[in-house]
Chain A
């Protein structure tokens, strides 16, 4: 018959584990094996008798460890089980047999490979954790920053910060783990005996640790349910600024538009202080032009407005740079796009002096028979990007947008 018991000692508590196993033997419980996680041990039931259990740190070579079993057995020590990557466990019921390690210094020497292995593993773990956190920033820093700032769920940002803090908290723990082992080795190297540490109750530890863990990870959902963005379509959307639609922008040009207008787009809002962006709206107004009326134009004819209201001018500045970077990437790649989607006659972003704005840049190109221009504007906390294809010139249209930027939308 076997009995399963939780292990009340840490894995580096050599003396504690040995004493606990010795006590179990006196209660008639004889070790069979430890589980992989080293949180439970399996025992055989038999008549109680004194048996010494001793831990032999695993060496560099498993084959050599295995070869030792026979000579150990000749000297009275029988292999019982192992704790993966840490120790081989031997038992001896012959009271006259010498200790497995008859002096502490030799045990200190035997611990060397184990400590080296632990240092190496912890270093690999540390590097892996740092790499996983930094990889997106290393591979594509601009894209990552963009994803961060424009994330639609700010709780993701919270989780990233939580992981970052967890990693920063765990890295010193790994160092302490190695330090603890080095101290054990130093104690033994000085010829001093190890002391058993205080035992602990694993089930009760898990009983408070699991709820705490759940609390930490449920925290954003429990405490910040309102932090999430409100998303709505253009039908339900009242933008914070009354942006001109395509009819108005066309009105500024030589040919007032009479065709039916098709709006599309969406907006997201967030009033939480956790969200770096308070409002993001993307609205397109377009019409399908009959080709016989406008032989010089074909396909859709549109105005696209992307507006961001940031929490601060610094964030607005960052978003401006991100939006510009995204557009520049498009303009760089688009000349080679297939299926007629490529652009020609590109005039990349250039400063565009406009009164009343912190920064303005203008780019233009030709696509599918249409002249298209793109304007990026930064003013205080506001970032505005307008893309337009039509007959009006930017000098005529942009004042309408600047005017809208000054106005609050009617409630």
Chain B
């Protein structure tokens, strides 16, 4: 299955998608995950987070699994996993190229 067709992921996109790999999460949990994972380097603002969640949902990369009042939980789809893998391969190639260039 082809992954995302709209170009490379930005850093916040990459980490938001990564957060769903292990389990389903709600918005607050995603923020905490990203902040913990990047040791505070990437901090998601609420506008960024909910815009990306809505976009990923529209593109079919994640799906809403549970709604508890205002709290919504999302899970990554197979398309989302594929998109993440593609992005990972791209980043890996970038790193390899960079290391080769440095010698």
Contacts and interface: CB of A to CB of B under 8 A. Distances in A.
Is chain B found bound to chain A in the same assembly?
A: yes
Contacts of B10: 103, 105-106, 191
Contact of B50 (A68, A98, A99, A107): A68
Interface stretch (A69-77, A283-291, A395-403): A69-77
Interface in A154-175: none
Interface string A48-92: 000000101001000010011011101101000000000000100
A103 B11 contact: yes
A215 interface: no
A50 to B, nearest CB: 17
A11 interface: no
B50 A71 contact: yes
A77 B47 CA distance: 10
B48 A106 contact: yes
Nearest to B45: A102
Given A105-B10, A109-B52, A71 B47 contact: no
Given A74-B28, A102-B12, A110 B70 contact: no
Given A64-B54, A71-B27, A71-B28, A103 B70 contact: no
A188 to B, nearest CB: 11
Tell me whether chain A's interface is mostly helix, strand or loop, or mixed: mixed
A107 B47 contact: yes
A383 to B, nearest CB: 66
Contacts of B27: 71
Contacts of A109: 51-52, 55
Nearest 3 Cβ contacts at the A-B interface: A102-B45, A106-B48, A98-B43
A59 B52 CA distance: 13
Given A74-B28, A75-B46, A101-B48, 11 more contacts: A71-B27, A72-B50, A75-B45, A98-B43, A101-B45, A102-B12, A103-B10, A105-B10, A106-B47, A106-B51, A107-B51
B47 A56 contact: yes
A54 B46 CA distance: 11
B46 A100 contact: yes
Contacts of B55: 109
A107 B50 CA distance: 11
B75 interface: no
A59 B53 CA distance: 13
Given A67-B70, A105-B10, A59 B54 contact: yes
Contacts of A107: 47-48, 51
Interface string A97-134: 01111110111011000000000000000000000000
A110 B10 CA distance: 15
A391 to B, nearest CB: 86
Contacts of B19: none
Contacts of B12: 102-103, 105-106
B48 A103 contact: yes
Given A71-B70, A102-B12, A103-B11, A110 B47 contact: yes
Contacts of A71: 27-28, 46, 50, 70
B44 interface: yes
B45 A98 contact: yes
Task: Choose among B10, B27, B43, B46 the residue with the greatest number of A CB atoms under 10 Å from its CB.
Answer: B46
B44 A98 contact: yes
A71 B44 CA distance: 13
Interface in B23-52: 27-28, 31, 42-48, 50-52
B14 to A, nearest CB: 11
Nearest to B43: A98
A239 to B, nearest CB: 76
A59 B11 CA distance: 23
15 contacts: A59-B54, A68-B50, A71-B28, A72-B46, A75-B31, A77-B47, A90-B47, A100-B47, A101-B47, A101-B51, A105-B13, A106-B12, A109-B51, A109-B52, A191-B10
Contacts of B44: 98, 102
B11 A68 contact: no
Contacts of B50: 68, 71-72
Contacts of A100: 45-48
A217 B90 CA distance: 62
Contacts of A59: 54
